[in-house]
Amino acid sequence: MRGSLLAALLGLLVMLAAGKEDLGLQNFNLTQFSGMWYEIALASNLEHQSSSPGRKVGAVIVEQDGAHLGLTSVSDHMNLCMKEKNQAVKGDTPGKFKLPLDSGGKEVIVVATDYKTYAVISIVPHGGEKPSRVLKLYSRTLEHNEKATEKFVEKAVEQGLSVSDVQLLTKDLTCVNLLS
């Protein structure tokens, strides 16, 4: 009895923590967030995401476009560089954005950032009650940043992922170079 009560309480705490995370950043500043970010790590519980060894780093250019957010990105999908241009709209809380339905209707949530060095982004599929989660670590530079990586692992665990779901991307600029 005691054990199951404890388990229930722990479950509640995890839910509360997750709920807090979903609020994004209260003082999110889009102007400071704009510019170029390298995608340097990924954490996901999706099979096809994690079973892609040697995945190259990607990048995204964030531009403020009125009430919208312009996102031009390149990323490595199974050894193919994919370039995408999306326009996201602001969501109901600061740091939360929604991609239009024709680009998947995903929600993009800024989970943590210091604007100058790193950002942790959560990507939630449209209508996703399924526990599929993708967390991405972005960096202003390609230099290894231990603090950012630690923060990323911490956030991944908070979101129910495990350390083994975290994948550092290979410093191969093939995809990134497509942005310029």
Please identify, using beta-carbon distances, which residue of 40 and 119 lies nearer to ligand NAG.
119
Q: Is 77 helix (H, G, I), strand (E, B) or coil?
A: strand
Q: Round to whole Å and give the CA distance between 77 and 142.
A: 19
Residue span binding ligand NAG (CB under 6 A) among the ranges 29-37, 75-83, 103-111, 153-161: 29-37
Q: H helices within the chain, ranges in order?
A: 2-21, 30-33, 47-50, 146-158
Nearest approach in angstroms of CB 29 to ligand NAG is 4
Say how many residues touch ligand NAG, by CB under 6 A: 3
Please, which residue, 31 or 180, has the CB nearer to ligand NAG?
A: 31
- Based on DSSP, count helices (H) and strands (E) in the chain, helices before strands: 4, 9
Instruction: Tell which one of 4, 26, 31, 164 touches ligand NAG (CB under 6 A).
Output: 31
Q: Is 32 a binder of ligand NAG (CB under 6 A)?
A: yes
Rounded Cα distance between 154 and 152, Å, is: 5
**Is 29 an interacting residue with respect to ligand NAG (CB under 6 A)?**
yes
Burial classification of residue 94, based on how many CB atoms lie within 10 Å of its CB (0-12 exposed, 13-18 middle, 19 or more buried): middle
Should residue 64 be labelled a site residue for ligand NAG when binding is judged by CB under 6 A? Answer: no
79 part of the interface to ligand NAG, by CB under 6 A: no
